[in-house]
């Protein structure tokens, strides 16, 4: 069942993108209505800070890990022919 669901999502990347973006927009709108108690640092008082922080953090980790894998793990195309 999970394989069929994942196959369904892989065949429709635009729908998945809009679904994830709508979830991000919902979390930003929801943050307007949440009562912010005393913040522990400056970002706790900004509306949508944690949603944007999570998005930027994930994208940063993806870029960093992809760059690290190219430098550290990538082999030449003729590596195994030698």
Summarised one tens digit per residue, pLDDT across range 23-76 is 888 888 888 887 777 778 887 888 888 888 888 999 999 999 999 988 888 777
- Residue 28 included in any domain: yes
- Residue 63 included in any domain: yes
Structural domains of the chain, count: 1
| Confidence label for 2 from pLDDT (cuts 50, 70 and 90) | very high
- Residue 19 included in any domain: yes
- Residue 49 included in any domain: yes
- Residue 81 included in any domain: no
Q: What is the pLDDT of residue 71?
A: 84
- Residue 18 included in any domain: yes
> Residue written as tokens 């998005």?
55
Residue 11: domain span: 2-75
Q: What is the pLDDT of residue 63?
A: 95
Q: What is the pLDDT of residue 75?
A: 77
- Residue 80 included in any domain: no
- Residue 82 included in any domain: no
Judge whether 24 and 55 are in contact, CB under 8 Å.
Answer: yes
Q: What is the pLDDT of residue 37?
A: 75
């Amino acid at each position: 069942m999970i394989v069929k669901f994942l196959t369904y999502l892989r065949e429709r990347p635009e729908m998945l993108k809009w679904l994830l973006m709508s979830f991000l927009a919902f979390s930003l709108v929801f943050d307007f209505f949440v009562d912010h108690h005393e913040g522990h640092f400056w970002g706790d008082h900004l509306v949508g800070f944690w949603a944007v922080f999570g998005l930027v953090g994930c994208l940063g980790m993806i870029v960093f890990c992809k760059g690290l894998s190219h430098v550290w793990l990538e082999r030449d195309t003729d590596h195994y022919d030698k």
